[in-house]
């Protein structure tokens, strides 16, 4: 008996216990099917549950963990990743997961409380790890033109008197609005919009998953390698699309495209909403309009997670059009529900603007 169950069987039992203890729930049937309660004894039948704060992270996690993993994006479709406030529903999602993947760099600080709700969960801030590993370049130079617009200040309203509250009024050379929503050192969190940085993130996710589930490490690494080959093709396609455009500067809705612009030799001429989720003040909007007129830019972008109002005001002022960019992705709007689809959608919109 010992020979039969003492070796591999005992090892398997330990692994099953470890998976149960780490909050992983067994079963390969859809949620709600009660037939999945009993483990089969086959370790590959364990459903790996991963929660992510944003949609691109969810796609990467699914690609790396494989089709058997249950990956849930916490952020509801259409919600603002910068200002989201989680409810008990999101708490339950995280309570069932063994890993929480976050962007970090202060983008999704709203998930801090969620992680502490499940003491067994492994919480990974991918962007923070990338910064620690020296993988994130300084991309502030691509937004120099955009940030030379005098901001309205953190208390920006449509009351022009509030401009007097701006403590750096006389210091025009200083870049004011880089770290309001970024890492401790002002690191821009939107690294995923550069497909080559996305490859680094995917590799990192595979390594983190391998630490938690070493028995599946080879699968995670092979999945990451296969997906990274697709990201390499995506990068080459974007490069080809952008290599022949008439101009090299564009205006974005919020300041999400610095890594993208840096990778493809573009400049961000203006950013409409200086604080994501907070409508810009009149003075700042006038600055954007002047900037776009001077540059001869006719396309203004809105984003699905934000109010279109500011973009529409500017488009009317410059006699231009409102188009759409979706830097955070939208779960119920294919092709923007996958990372590659979202990147292709954004590239087509940017290329169109650069060819006007």
Which residues sit at the interface with Zn ion, rule CB under 5 A?
Answer: 256
Q: What is the nearest approach in angstroms of Zn ion to the Cβ of residue 256?
A: 4
Looking at beta carbons only, is 188 or 200 nearer to Zn ion?
188
Instruction: Kindly state the tokens that stand for 305.
Output: 């997670």
Instruction: Kindly state the tokens that stand for 165.
Output: 């509250």
Q: What is the spatial distance between Cα 53 and Cα 166, in angstroms, rounded to a whole number?
A: 33
Looking at beta carbons only, is 127 or 287 nearer to Zn ion?
127
Element (H, E) at 128: helix 126-132
DSSP state of 320: -
Q: What is the nearest approach in angstroms of Zn ion to the Cβ of residue 82?
A: 6
Looking at beta carbons only, is 256 or 342 nearer to Zn ion?
256
Which residues, other chains included, contact 267 with Cβ-Cβ below 8 Å and sequence gap of 6+? 142, 143, 144, 145, 248, 249, 261
Q: What is the nearest approach in angstroms of Zn ion to the Cβ of residue 95?
A: 27
Looking at beta carbons only, is 24 or 256 nearer to Zn ion?
256
Bridge partners (DSSP) listed for residue 125: 102
DSSP state of 164: G
**Strand pairing category for 49-52 and 99-102:** parallel
Looking at beta carbons only, is 151 or 327 nearer to Zn ion?
327
- Whether omega for the bond prior to residue 335 falls within 30 degrees of 0, making it cis, is yes
Dihedral-angle region of residue 251 (phi above 0 means left; psi in -120 to 50 means alpha; beta otherwise) = beta
Helices (H), 133-216: 144-147, 195-212
Q: What is the nearest approach in angstroms of Zn ion to the Cβ of residue 276?
A: 5
Q: What is the nearest approach in angstroms of Zn ion to the Cβ of residue 328?
A: 6
Q: What is the nearest approach in angstroms of Zn ion to the Cβ of residue 176?
A: 18
Looking at beta carbons only, is 97 or 130 nearer to Zn ion?
130
Q: What is the nearest approach in angstroms of Zn ion to the Cβ of residue 278?
A: 13
Looking at beta carbons only, is 206 or 256 nearer to Zn ion?
256
Bridge partners (DSSP) listed for residue 278: 275
Residue 249's CB is within 10 A of a number of other CB atoms, namely 20
Q: Which residue is nearest to Zn ion (CB)?
A: 256
Looking at beta carbons only, is 256 or 325 nearer to Zn ion?
256
Cβ proximity of 343 and 195 under 8 Å:
yes
Q: What is the spatial distance between Cα 51 and Cα 42, in angstroms, rounded to a whole number?
A: 23
Which residues, other chains included, contact 216 with Cβ-Cβ below 8 Å and sequence gap of 6+? 44, 48, 209, 210
Q: What is the nearest approach in angstroms of Zn ion to the Cβ of residue 188?
A: 9
């Amino acid at each position: 008996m010992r020979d039969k169950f003492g070796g591999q069987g005992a090892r398997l039992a330990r692994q099953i216990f470890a998976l149960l203890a780490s909050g992983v729930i067994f079963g390969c049937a859809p949620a709600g099917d009660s037939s999945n309660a009993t483990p089969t004894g086959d370790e590959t039948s364990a459903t790996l549950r991963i929660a992510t704060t944003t949609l691109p992270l969810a796609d990467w996690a699914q690609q790396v963990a494989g089709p058997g993993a249950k990956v849930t994006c916490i952020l509801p479709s259409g919600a603002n990743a910068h200002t989201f406030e989680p409810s008990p529903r999101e708490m339950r999602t995280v309570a069932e997961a063994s890993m929480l993947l976050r962007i970090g760099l202060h983008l999704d600080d709203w998930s801090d409380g969620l992680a502490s709700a499940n003491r067994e969960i492994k919480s990974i801030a991918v962007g923070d790890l990338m910064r620690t590993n020296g993988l994130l370049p300084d991309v502030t130079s691509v937004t120099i033109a955009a940030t030379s617009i005098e901001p309205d200040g953190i208390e920006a309203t449509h009351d022009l008197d509030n401009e007097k509250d701006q403590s750096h009024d006389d210091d025009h050379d200083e870049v004011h609005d880089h770290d309001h929503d970024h890492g401790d050192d002002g690191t821009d969190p939107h690294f995923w919009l550069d497909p080559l940085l996305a490859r680094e993130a995917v590799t990192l996710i595979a390594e983190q998953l391998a630490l938690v589930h070493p028995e599946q490490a080879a699968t995670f690494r092979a999945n990451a390698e296969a997906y990274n080959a697709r990201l390499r093709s995506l990068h080459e396609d974007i490069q080809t699309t952008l290599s022949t455009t008439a101009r090299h500067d564009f205006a974005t809705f919020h300041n999400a495209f610095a890594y993208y612009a840096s990778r493809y030799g573009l400049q961000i001429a203006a950013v409409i909403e200086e604080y994501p989720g907070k409508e810009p003040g009149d003075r700042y909007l006038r600055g954007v309009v002047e900037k776009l007129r001077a540059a001869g830019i006719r396309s203004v972008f809105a984003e699905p997670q934000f109010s279109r109002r500011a973009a529409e005001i500017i488009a009317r002022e410059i006699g231009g059009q409102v188009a759409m960019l979706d830097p955070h992705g939208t779960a119920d709007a294919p092709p923007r529900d996958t990372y590659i689809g979202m990147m292709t959608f954004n590239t087509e919109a940017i290329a169109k603007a650069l060819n006007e």
